[in-house]
Homo-oligomer: A and B are copies of this chain.
């Protein structure tokens, strides 16, 4: 499993990814899921990936190849394939989508024959000179959605454990430093509840309109700041919980009943 998070703020972008991959519980490894394409003063493009690692690495390899060897036309995933030459982030999202579709054409049938779905998703953020900063989520079909002021963060992979703190804290006006801190807390909650998400954690912070020099930081499992935040947060949450008022009825006193002991609802209605 994987957890990746992108936050689009007034001041810039915060992108975070874990590095754990696993094929079953006995084959766990560390792979970078955060890639950066950068030309200082002109563009910063950040890609986070989740899903089948053979698929996501194939997609990234296509994108890398089209950047590295421009003469290899046959390797280019399509007319939008060059992340270092696209005119803006929407074109970059299309380029990633085209690369996803190229890998789908090549591998999906063989995967299906062996009972495997074509599973991958991506977060793409950044800025190209002359255009706005943007953040996209790209699906396995190559289509995509964009984050906006009302929905400032996007997640892929194991998204649920870490979402409540983001819902409570992050909005479009949150500072870069606070958003990065919140991202770490979100990852800590996820790692605590799901062993398949694990350190090291890669962080990238991009300040709007700088077009370069994003902060990049890798948090190892024994990183003092990460451990400090984990302890303070865990202890703080427990204390906060203990300080909440007790239930307005004592559990050892005969209760105010809800009504008859076992009333039944028998109307049919499809749930889900």
Overall SS of chain A's interface? mixed
Give min CB distance, A55 to chain B, whole Å. 9
Answer whether A36 and B262 are a contact pair too, CB < 8 Å, given A177-B251, A237-B240, A241-B169: yes
- In the complex, which residues of chain B have a beta carbon less than 8 angstroms from the beta carbon of A269? 21, 23, 27, 29, 31, 53-54
Give min CB distance, A114 to chain B, whole Å. 11
- In the complex, which residues of chain B have a beta carbon less than 8 angstroms from the beta carbon of A216? 255, 257-258
Q: Which of B36, B160, B180 contacts A160 (CB 8 A)?
A: B160
Query: Which bracket fits the contact residues of A?
Result: 35 or more
Over the window 220-264 of chain A, the binary record of Cβ atoms lying under 8 Å from chain B Cβ atoms (1 yes, 0 no) is: 000001001100111011101111111111111111111001111
Give min CB distance, A75 to chain B, whole Å. 14
Give min CB distance, A62 to chain B, whole Å. 12
Q: Which of A86-94, A96-104, A134-142, A207-215 contacts B (4 or more CB under 8 A)?
A: A207-215
- In the complex, which residues of chain B have a beta carbon less than 8 angstroms from the beta carbon of A214? 255
Q: Which of B168, B207, B254, B261 contacts A238 (CB 8 A)?
A: B168
Give min CB distance, A53 to chain B, whole Å. 3
Give min CB distance, A115 to chain B, whole Å. 13
14 additional contacts (CB under 8 A) given A54-B271, A177-B247, A229-B244: A22-B271, A37-B262, A38-B262, A54-B270, A61-B264, A61-B266, A64-B262, A164-B189, A167-B193, A168-B237, A229-B245, A233-B240, A236-B243, A237-B240
Subset of 8 A-B contacts with CB under 8 Å = A1-B272, A22-B271, A31-B271, A53-B268, A64-B262, A177-B246, A213-B255, A229-B245
